[in-house]
Structures are given as structure tokens and as C-alpha cells.
């Protein structure tokens, strides 16, 4: 039987309707104006409600959320996102990494990420968050290893870049290698694209080449990200063979300004004689019916030496 999981990204689910002017000094003022002018019409709660109706979370081993739950990372937005996560499902079944909007400016941990810590936690470490770096995170479900990497950190105004810090970069190779030795299908998920040169300069992962080199040298079976609000499929070559690098658009977008309409991806993974069979099943928001409907489907062979069980 194949194992199943899903990825959604960039829901930007919070409302800034009640925001006070004093919360908007610094970079947040620009983000607020962008929300007033554009984003509140593009990112819609009714789209997320339709996604949730389509999701069938109990049938999934894990739901991955690749960041940007908020617009400008205010504590009130973290609370809204925390409420949304809790009504969506159990933290053991939903794993997230933050995005650049969530880390818009430096903020108090207790008022922000502490509210999401169970959803960012590795296996066995829920409830132990103390503000220490929880990434790279690791959750193992059957033959699947989900490895979360954070690229979110405050950047200057107008910049939507990200950076993976040195501590994560130093821990990632060992994690990827250990999971490979255990014969697991490694899913690495992060907000920004780890492919150098693919994203616009203003939106890039500043040390994409360092992350890319680690994947190249240590291998993975699948890399997932968001951030660009566009669907992408790339393939990269690693020590262990080809790895798909897949981006999903925003989970809440009406697609009003040339961005892709909301979508999320479902995946199935099954072992075969040559390694793994990966099924990719896009679910796309249909504006007419107001529901998510089946989109593009793809089967990809991930060739790997099969370890004895
Ligand atoms: Fe982003």
C-alpha cells in the first residue's frame, strides 16, 4: 500500500482588519499597505475552507505547510494562525516550516512561534519548545522521513529573501545521511527554493548554493517548497540519483494578479524493485464551483538501490 501525504503553502490566512497604527512602524507598514491594496482580495478564507473540505486529512500520513501563514508576522496573526491550525488537525499530523512573511521583523518568541511550536516540532519533542532552534526538524512516518528546514529570518524592507542559518546547515548532512542509511524516503521541505538562480533576486534564498550542495552530496528523494505562489517542477541530480524539486502556489489565492490560482499537492509513495514510485496529484481551486478539483497528475520513478528490510 502506498503512503500518502500532502503539501500546501503560503495560505496568508490572517486578517489585518483590527491592526493598530502603533504596530506598523518598520517594515510592517509596507506589508500592511500591500495587504490593504491587494492581498486581502487575493488570499481568501473561503478558498482555504474549500481546501479543507477536499483535504481528507485523516487519510494522510502528514500534511506539510511550507510557510507564510501570516502577512506581516504580528502576534495577533500568529494567534489567528494557531486557531486555524488547531481546527485543521492534530499537530502530530501537520508539520510546518515558517516563511519570510512570518519573520517580517524580529519578534518575541513567546508571542509568536511559541504558539506554533507543536506544529514545528520533531517527533517526541512537542511541548518542549523553549525558543531554541527547532530546525532541521524530523518526523518519521513508516518509510517516510519529513525533514523541515527554516529559511525565515528578518530582512530589510522590500526584500523577500531567506537564509538558512549555519546551525541548520551543519546538522542537515548527518540527518539526510542517517535517514538514507535507514532506507527511508526523504522529503525535505522549506519555504524558499533551494535551486540557485531560479527565484528573482529579491526573493531568493541567499545561501541557496550551500543548501543545494548539501542535497547534492547527501541526497534526498523529494524537495518541496512554496514562496513564489507559482507551480514549478524541476529535477536535480544528487549523489543518490534524481530528485524532484516541486513548488506549489498559494493555498488561498484567487489568482487575481497573474499569480496561479490556489492549489495544493497530494503525494503517494510506494516502494518497487528499482526504488520508489512517486505519485503527484495536484488539486486546484475552481472559481466557478468554489471547490478544489483534480488537476495535473504525474508518476515519477525515483531510482534508488533497495536496502534489505
Ligand atoms: Fe514567501
Domain boundaries, given as residue ranges, for the chain: 3-303
Q: Mean pLDDT over residues 169-186, rounded? A: 97
Which set of grid coordinates corresponds to residue 212? 543545494
Q: Is 126 helix (H, G, I), strand (E, B) or coil?
A: coil
CA of 178 to the centre of ligand 1 (A): 30
pLDDT exceeds cutoff 90 at 216: yes
CA of 276 to the centre of ligand 1 (A): 30
Q: Residue 100 in contact with residue 229, Cβ under 8 Å?
A: no
pLDDT attached to residue 214 = 98
CA of 10 to the centre of ligand 1 (A): 7
CA of 9 to the centre of ligand 1 (A): 9
CA angle centred on 125, ends 143 and 240, rounded to 5°: 35
CA of 20 to the centre of ligand 1 (A): 24
Query: Pick from 110, 136, 120, 111: which is nearest to 85 by CA?
Result: 120
CA of 98 to the centre of ligand 1 (A): 9
Q: Which CATH architecture has domain 3-303?
A: 4-Layer Sandwich (3.60)
pLDDT attached to residue 225 = 98
**CB-count exposure of residue 261 (10 Å: 0-12, 13-18, 19+):** middle
Q: Mean pLDDT over residues 36-54, rounded? A: 93
The whole model's pTM is what? 0.95
Dihedral of alpha carbons 81, 86, 87, 90, sign: positive
Digit-coded pLDDT (tens) for 131-151:
567 999 999 999 999 999 999
CA of 101 to the centre of ligand 1 (A): 6
Q: Residue 13 in contact with residue 48, Cβ under 8 Å?
A: yes
CA of 97 to the centre of ligand 1 (A): 11
Q: Please, what's the b/e burial string for 218-237 (b: 16 or more CB within 10 A of its CB; e: otherwise)?
A: bbbbbbbbbbbbebbeeeee
CA of 257 to the centre of ligand 1 (A): 16
Amino acid at each position: 500500500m502506498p503512503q500518502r501525504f500532502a503539501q500546501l503553502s503560503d495560505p496568508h490566512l490572517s486578517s489585518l482588519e483590527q491592526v493598530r497604527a502603533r504596530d506598523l512602524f518598520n517594515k510592517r507598514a509596507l506589508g500592511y499597505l500591500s495587504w490593504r491594496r491587494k492581498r486581502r482580495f487575493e488570499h481568501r478564507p473561503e478558498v482555504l475552507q474549500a481546501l479543507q473540505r477536499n483535504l481528507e486529512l485523516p487519510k494522510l500520513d502528514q500534511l506539510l505547510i511550507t510557510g507564510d501563514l501570516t502577512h506581516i508576522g504580528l502576534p495577533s496573526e500568529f494567534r489567528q494562525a494557531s486557531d486555524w491550525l488547531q481546527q485543521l488537525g492534530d499537530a502530530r499530523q501537520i508539520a510546518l516550516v515558517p516563511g519570510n512573511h512570518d519573520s517580517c521583523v524580529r519578534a518575541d518568541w513567546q508571542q509568536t512561534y511559541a504558539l506554533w511550536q507543536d506544529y514545528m516540532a520533531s517527533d517526541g519533542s512537542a511541548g518542549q519548545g523553549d525558543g531554541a532552534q527547532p530546525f532541521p526538524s524530523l518526523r518519521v512516518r513508516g518509510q517516510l522521513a519529513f525533514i523541515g528546514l527554516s529559511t525565515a529570518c528578518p530582512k530589510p524592507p522590500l526584500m523577500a529573501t531567506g537564509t538558512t542559518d549555519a546551525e541548520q546547515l551543519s546538522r542537515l548532512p548527518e540527518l539526510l545521511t542517517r535517514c538514507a542509511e535507514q532506507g527511508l524516503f526523504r522529503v525535505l521541505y522549506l519555504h524558499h527554493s533551494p535551486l540557485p538562480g531560479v527565484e528573482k533576486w529579491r526573493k531568493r534564498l541567499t545561501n541557496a548554493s550551500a543548501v543545494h550542495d548539501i542535497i547534492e552530496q547527501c541526497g534526498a528523494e523529494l524537495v518541496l517548497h512554496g514562496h513564489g505562489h507559482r507551480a514549478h517542477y524541476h529535477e536535480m541530480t544528487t549523489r543518490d540519483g534524481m530528485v524532484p524539486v516541486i513548488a506549489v502556489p498559494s493555498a488561498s489565492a484567487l489568482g487575481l494578479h497573474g499569480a496561479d490560482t490556489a492549489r495544493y499537492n497530494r503525494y503517494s509513495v510506494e516502494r518497487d524493485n528499482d526504488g520508489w514510485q512517486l505519485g503527484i496529484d495536484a488539486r486546484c481551486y475552481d472559481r466557478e464551483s468554489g471547490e478544489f478539483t483534480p488537476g495535473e497528475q504525474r508518476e515519477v520513478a525515483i531510482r534508488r538501490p533497495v536496502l534489505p528490510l
